[in-house]
Amino acid sequence: KIFFGEDAMPKEMNGYRLLPGFEPDSAKVAYDQMEINESDILIASYPKTGTTWVVSIVHQILYGDNPADLEKYSALQFCFHYLEFGAVCKYEVFKKISFPRQVFATHLPEPLVNMKKFKANGAKLIYVIRNPKDQAVSWRHFAKGFAFAKSEFWKPLLPEDEKEFYDVYLAGNQYAFAKKGEGYLECIKEWYKHKNDENVLFLVYEEMKKNPHNEIKKIADFIGKPLSDEQLNNVVEKTSFASMKKESEKTAPDNNEGAQFFRKGQIGDWKNHLTVAQSELIDRKVKEILGDTDIQFIYE
Ligand code: A3P
């Protein structure tokens, strides 16, 4: 079971609701006090869009040639790498460990991340998007593992019934990392204003899936660590869904927490789960919320 006790409640930050485990105090320290260097990389995303995958690709690119470093930095950063996850005292630990390059992740909405500081210090931002239908399906399966899902507070927000779950989710009643009534699409909209900024790379889950060599090469070039053909092939292999799932099962603690981040890893599973009406509702929302951007989601 993931994310704390059966009675875990979400916290709010400036009107945005964070999932249990994600702490406004830690997000605030990241915003106000955390030191950022030119070589640092921030991977931002909405949950269930391929975050773990991108973090892993970046780790493999940076440390793939050196298994000891890879293990050291991936393991250390796994617990810490979300800016807003866990206790605020982790920032004391950050100061003591000197990472050659810090790789951070965040699910925070854009206004809660100090992008001015990241930019002023020359750090790089990677944002990954995934089509909202597969994101919703991935989210439902992930949410089934929440220890708190059956509490009085969460039960109506995370219904067991599949159709009901998506109805509640799409109505914006769960609003994780979003404002009341909002969700994934609004979050993308806020981040997307950085699309053409320097030091920013937007990735698309489905493009990574369809052409991993291309997209991984793009990431490596972007973070200033171009790969030889052999290194590239190696990263593609090590970060394939099958390899990552297998690895997580090997290293996950007894409750297999890590493995829950690897379910199917496919494009188009939404067809097995959403009703036609729910799929059409998402199409309408995409038009309404992201219609004035050039985003074209890939659904199959
Ligand atoms: P599914 O539930 O559709 O399988 P996040 O890391 O942001 O929580 O995203 C999790 C989703 O990314 C899950 O989607 C998971 O299976 C998928 N994923 C993780 N690693 C992947 C990989 N190497 N290739 C493709 N998909 C991957």
pLDDT tens track for 11-44 = 999 999 999 999 999 999 999 999 899 999 999 9
With beta carbons less than 8 A apart as the criterion, state whether 204 and 129 touch.
yes
Of the chain, the end-to-end C-alpha distance in Å amounts to 31
Query: Which of the 8 DSSP states describes residue 33?
Result: T
Of ligand 1's atoms, which has the minimum distance to the CA of residue 142? Answer: 2
pLDDT in tens, 66-122: 988 888 888 776 667 899 998 898 888 878 877 788 899 999 999 999 999 999 999
Is 107 among the residues known to form the active site?
yes
Q: For a substitution probing ligand 1, which of 139, 263, 272 has the most ligand atoms within 8 Å of its CB? A: 263
Residues whose CB falls within 8 Å of the CB of residue 10, separated by 6 or more in sequence, listed in order: 17, 18, 19, 20, 176
Residue of 44, 94, 102 whose CA lies nearest to 74: 102
Helix (H, G, I), strand (E, B) or coil at 198: coil
**12 within 8 A of 18, measured Cβ to Cβ:** yes
Q: What is the pTM of this model?
A: 0.96
What 3-state DSSP class applies to 246? helix
Å from CA of 120 to ligand 1 middle: 32
Nearest CA to ligand 1 atom 10: 48
User: pLDDT band for position 264 (50/70/90)?
Assistant: very high
Answer whether 107 contacts ligand 1 (Cβ < 6 A).
Answer: no
Q: Which residues of 109-143 are buried (b: 16+ CB within 10 A; e: fewer)?
A: bbebbbbebbbeeebbbbbbbbbbbbbbbbbbebb
Residue 260: is its pLDDT beyond 80?
no
Q: What tens digit of pLDDT does each residue of 158-209 get?
A: 999 999 999 999 999 999 999 999 999 999 999 999 999 999 999 999 999 9
Look at the chain and count its residues: 300
Contacts by 1-4 with C-beta closer than 8 Å and gap 24+? Answer: 1/145, 1/146, 1/147, 1/255, 2/142, 2/145, 2/146, 2/147, 2/257, 2/260, 3/146, 3/147, 3/148, 4/147, 4/148
- For the chain, the structural domain boundaries read 11-290
Determine whether the shortest distance from the Cβ of 135 to ligand 1 is under 6 A.
no
* CA 138/CA 130 separation, integer angstroms: 11
Any ligand 1 atom below 6 A from CB of 138: yes
Q: Is the CB of 50 under 6 A from ligand 1?
A: yes
- Contact yes or no for 104/21 (Cβ under 8 A): no
Range scoring the smallest mean pLDDT among 66-75, 146-155, 157-166, 260-269: 66-75
Q: In sequence order, what E strands does the chain have?
A: 11-13, 16-18, 41-45, 103-106, 124-129, 200-204
The set of residues, in sequence order, having a beta carbon less than 8 Å from that of 149 and lying 6+ positions away, is 143, 155, 158
Would the pLDDT of 156 be above 70? yes
| Ligand 1, atom 17, residue with closest C-alpha | 265
Chain centroid to CA 132: 13
Instruction: Report how far ligand 1's centroid is from the alpha carbon of 287 (Å).
Output: 25
Tell me the average pLDDT across 36-53.
Answer: 95
Distance (angstroms) between ligand 1 centre and the Cα of 53 equals 6
Residue-wise burial string across 71-99, b where 16 or more C-beta atoms lie within 10 A, e elsewhere: eebbeebbebbbbbbeebebbeebeeeeb
Task: Please give, one letter per residue, the 3-state secondary structure of 37-68.
Answer: CCCCEEEEECCCCCHHHHHHHHHHHHHCCCHH
CATH no., domain 11-290: 3.40.50.300
Distance of CA 98 to the CA centre of its chain: 24
Ligand 1 neighbourhood includes 262 CB (under 6 angstroms): yes
Helix pair angle (162-170, 276-290), 10° resolution: 20
- Catalytic member of 107, 141, 194, 273: 107
Pocket test of ligand 1: the residue of 52, 78, 237, 243 to mutate, having most ligand atoms within 8 Å of its CB, is 52
Q: What is the pLDDT of residue 255?
A: 54
Q: What percent of the chain has pLDDT over 90?
A: 80
Query: Looking at residue 93, what DSSP letter applies?
Result: H
Q: Which atom of ligand 1 is nearest to the CA of 269?
A: 3
Contact 94, 71 (CB under 8 A): no
